[in-house]
Amino acid sequence: MIEIAVGILIGLCALGAGVGNGLIVSRTVEGVARQPEARGALQTIMFIGVGLVEALPIIGVVFGFILLGR
């Protein structure tokens, strides 16, 4: 039963990260289209946001391994 829970956990973490990354990148592209001169600042903020969003699946995988180790 724990294996199924870990699979769902990791799948939902990946889904959340995919949606979050899509929103971040789409809003960055929108911002660059509106203000091309702000590209550098927006790109920096985008990379920080993507890094923070990518932490979620990593934490989920670690938590899953902890659960499987019991």
Full pLDDT tens readout for the chain, 70 residues: 989 999 999 999 999 999 999 999 999 999 999 999 999 999 999 999 999 999 989 999 999 999 998 7
CA pair distance 7, 60, nearest whole angstrom = 10
Determine the pLDDT at residue 70.
Answer: 76
Do 61 and 13 contact (CB within 8 A), yes or no? yes
Q: pTM for the whole thing?
A: 0.82
Interacting residues of 60 by C-beta distance below 8 A, sequence separation 6+: 9, 10, 12, 13, 14
CA within 13 Å, CB half, 47 = 5
Determine the pLDDT at residue 16.
Answer: 94
CA pair distance 11, 6, nearest whole angstrom = 8
